[in-house]
Amino acid sequence: MQIPRLHPDTVEEVKQRADIYDVVSEYVVLRKRGKDYVGLCPFHDEKSPSFTVVPTKQMYYCFGCQAAGNSIKFMMDLQKRSFSEVVLDLARRYQISVKTLAPEQRQELERQISLREQLHQVLALSAQFYQHALKNSGGGALDYLQNKRKLSPEIIQQFGLGYAPQGWETLYRYLVEDKHYPVQLIEKAGLIKPRKEGSGYYDVFRDRIIIPIRDVMGRVIAFGGRTMGDEQPKYLNSPETELFSKGKNLFALDAAKNGISQFDSVVVVEGYFDAIALHAAGINNAVASLGTALSIEQVKLALRYTESKQLVLNFDADKAGTNAAERAIGEIADLAYRGEVQLKILNIPDGKDADEYLHTHSSQEYQQLLAQAPLWLNWQIEQTIKDKDLKQAVDYQQASQQIVKLLKNIVNTDTRSYYVTYCAEILSLGNVQLVPLRIENLLTQINKSANSAPNKSIINRASTPNNNKETDKSKPRIEKSLLEKAEGLVLQIFLHCPGQRQNIVDIIDKRDLQFSHSHHRFLWQKILRVLEETSDEYNSAVISKLQDACLENPEETAPVTHLFHLTPQTKSEILRAQQVIKAAIACMEIAMCEKHVQHYKELWQSIDPEVDRSRHEYYFQKYFEERMKLGELEKQRQFSILDL
């Protein structure tokens, strides 16, 4: 259909109604920051959020790529669609009547809008019909809900549960003959189907408990039907319609959205009755995934209402449930790796589902299970090793490969190093002495993987990115030129910034640091000697004494004489001496620690444990300590000398 020119009134009303948060949060996971929201920009690739939504101005903008605009602009840019297309789409969504400048096109558009309204009507009426049928079901269906499902009349009422009678055409007759709705409309609502043979239609739902599926505003958009016995299929959903799409809706979200913001977390279960049972038990932040693997759209939908983005998947602990959980994780793993969702997995003991569990346990007990639910990575690791005998080489290898696959995608370095140690402990099977070796292996494999998450720290920026060799043997992480610059800066600040002299001496002494470049080392030794001779380190005589010493040893000191002269750059560095010292010292410390790692590794590997076990273990221990220290130093690094 050709898009007509829209009346300015319509455009204005769309602008008013299409809330920027509402529109954007369907595509971007947003977190509250002050009055605004932030998230990862959908228009450029980024690791930390610079995309900001400002509800008070109904605007978004990105500090990274300068994208900016209102709801309409957002949809236009994201979906590469025209202004009119987006306005029409939003008008449909917010049920705004469309006025166009060309009257003949107006009718067609109004027809489209009204189709959705009519579908809502017919579905609402059907829901009432089913509820009425439940009360008049002669006990069978009501008995099932009250006694088998243990649901109170209030909950049955709250969720609008109903019953589809046994006959083939009961709903059909009610809607067509009593209420005079057009057959096509009822078919479009997914309530009836044409008979395969002959003419006429039959009801989609027959002799089933009816569970209305509502959109977030509480309007019925589809139904779920459950048999009361064991007939197959146990569950039947409305087909996809103009209003209903399985992967884009969550059951009970309308009832749960307040609970989700209250608990600041959302519980996702598999079945309708699990969600209903949870609500009945006062756990009103539960939604159900409508019998499909959880999709990313569904997750984003649920996360809109939680600030800390906590999501607990409570799927059945049986094979099917585990598979569903794994599929769901697959969909949302990217969000989880980036920390955009705090994903936990709850498996109820004895393979029960939430509904069964609550028949015999209290709401508090379920809450407790929720609180203890493992983070998804722990759960995944658990699944990886569950049926494996790690003493067997094949199983061990498989497990460790799968673990590496899991760990290499973790973006946050702290989280990653935590999990490396955690997994190394598991793979060591209780043998504490093996842990360091396992850590080493895991780190090596993770680093090998080309896919490893980029890291902004100085260490990685300074090294060659496509360096695939084993970490320890690889090129030093701090490049020689960078280290030289760092050492030079420390010396320069010492020379030109008397107030920092004692500080520098103390740090170098305390951390047992050495200058790696021989000319720097030479100058530092001279400095220490001069300081011994003078009682006043602020004295300007320090410099002249050092210069004398340099004159005596022209060969050794030629490469450092430039340090005595103040350049405009040196001057600016002196202005922020504290930061410069911190960054430069960290650089030296890492370089030194790396040397130690290498040194102890060589010693450890050169000694045959059969010949000298205690020395072998001693060097290993040393090697391990340094290796851990290196990890710590990398973690602690807050800013880089390259930024100075």
Q: Which residues bind Zn ion (CB under 5 A)?
A: 41, 43-44, 62, 64-65
Rank residues 77 and 110 by Cβ distance to Zn ion and give the closer one: 77
Burial (CB < 10 A; 0-12, 13-18, 19+), residue 84, is middle
Find the DSSP H helices in 203-294.
Answer: 253-263, 272-280
**What is the distance between the alpha carbons of residues 453 and 413, in angstroms, rounded to a whole number?**
9
Rank residues 48 and 636 by Cβ distance to Zn ion and give the closer one: 48
Secondary structure (H, E, C), 346-411: CCCHHHCCHHHHHHHCCHHHHHHHHHHCCEHHHHHHHHHHCCCCCCCHHHHHHHHHHHHHHHCCCC
Tokens of 435: 């842990």
Residues 6+ apart with CB under 8 A from 614: none
In the complex, the smallest distance separating the C-beta of residue 69 from Zn ion, rounded to whole angstroms, is 12
**What is the distance between the alpha carbons of residues 245 and 243, in angstroms, rounded to a whole number?**
7
**What is the distance between the alpha carbons of residues 410 and 47, in angstroms, rounded to a whole number?**
12
In the complex, the smallest distance separating the C-beta of residue 37 from Zn ion, rounded to whole angstroms, is 14
Rank residues 78 and 228 by Cβ distance to Zn ion and give the closer one: 78
In the complex, the smallest distance separating the C-beta of residue 52 from Zn ion, rounded to whole angstroms, is 10
Distances (CA, A) of 637 to 188, 397, 439, 586, 609: 61, 34, 21, 7, 36
Q: Are strands 265-269 and 286-288 parallel, antiparallel or unpaired?
A: parallel
Rank residues 43 and 235 by Cβ distance to Zn ion and give the closer one: 43
In the complex, the smallest distance separating the C-beta of residue 17 from Zn ion, rounded to whole angstroms, is 26
Give 60's strand partners.
53, 69
In the complex, the smallest distance separating the C-beta of residue 77 from Zn ion, rounded to whole angstroms, is 10
**What is the distance between the alpha carbons of residues 4 and 270, in angstroms, rounded to a whole number?**
44
In the complex, the smallest distance separating the C-beta of residue 335 from Zn ion, rounded to whole angstroms, is 18
In the complex, the smallest distance separating the C-beta of residue 74 from Zn ion, rounded to whole angstroms, is 12
In the complex, the smallest distance separating the C-beta of residue 43 from Zn ion, rounded to whole angstroms, is 5
The DSSP element (H or E) to which 537 belongs, if any, is none
Rank residues 40 and 210 by Cβ distance to Zn ion and give the closer one: 40
Residue type, 512: D
**What is the distance between the alpha carbons of residues 113 and 105, in angstroms, rounded to a whole number?**
13
In the complex, the smallest distance separating the C-beta of residue 51 from Zn ion, rounded to whole angstroms, is 6
**What is the distance between the alpha carbons of residues 193 and 184, in angstroms, rounded to a whole number?**
10
Give 286's strand partners.
267
In the complex, the smallest distance separating the C-beta of residue 554 from Zn ion, rounded to whole angstroms, is 56
Burial (CB < 10 A; 0-12, 13-18, 19+), residue 110, is middle
Tokens of 559: 């490469």
Q: Are strands 342-345 and 310-314 parallel, antiparallel or unpaired?
A: parallel
In the complex, the smallest distance separating the C-beta of residue 66 from Zn ion, rounded to whole angstroms, is 7
Residue type, 196: K
**What is the distance between the alpha carbons of residues 196 and 202, in angstroms, rounded to a whole number?**
10
Distances (CA, A) of 549 to 497, 526, 643: 20, 7, 34
In the complex, the smallest distance separating the C-beta of residue 85 from Zn ion, rounded to whole angstroms, is 23
Give 235's strand partners.
226
The DSSP element (H or E) to which 601 belongs, if any, is helix 577-606
Rank residues 37 and 600 by Cβ distance to Zn ion and give the closer one: 37
Rank residues 65 and 125 by Cβ distance to Zn ion and give the closer one: 65
Rank residues 67 and 222 by Cβ distance to Zn ion and give the closer one: 67
In the complex, the smallest distance separating the C-beta of residue 70 from Zn ion, rounded to whole angstroms, is 16
Rank residues 456 and 576 by Cβ distance to Zn ion and give the closer one: 456
Rank residues 62 and 586 by Cβ distance to Zn ion and give the closer one: 62
Rank residues 3 and 65 by Cβ distance to Zn ion and give the closer one: 65
In the complex, the smallest distance separating the C-beta of residue 62 from Zn ion, rounded to whole angstroms, is 3
In the complex, the smallest distance separating the C-beta of residue 50 from Zn ion, rounded to whole angstroms, is 6
In the complex, the smallest distance separating the C-beta of residue 45 from Zn ion, rounded to whole angstroms, is 9
Rank residues 28 and 354 by Cβ distance to Zn ion and give the closer one: 28
The DSSP element (H or E) to which 83 belongs, if any, is helix 83-93
**What is the distance between the alpha carbons of residues 438 and 428, in angstroms, rounded to a whole number?**
7
DSSP string across 25-77: TTTS--EEETTEEEE--SSS--SS--EEEETTTTEEEETTT--EE-HHHHHHH
Q: What are phi and psi of 607, to 5 degrees?
A: -100, 125
Rank residues 77 and 187 by Cβ distance to Zn ion and give the closer one: 77
Rank residues 65 and 113 by Cβ distance to Zn ion and give the closer one: 65
Report the Cα–Cα distance between both ends of the chain, in Å, rounded: 58
Q: With beta carbons less than 8 A apart as the criterion, state whether 209 and 161 touch.
A: yes
Rank residues 2 and 66 by Cβ distance to Zn ion and give the closer one: 66
Cβ neighbours of 134 (radius 10 Å)? 22
Rank residues 62 and 191 by Cβ distance to Zn ion and give the closer one: 62
The DSSP element (H or E) to which 639 belongs, if any, is none
Residues 6+ apart with CB under 8 A from 379: 325, 344, 345, 347
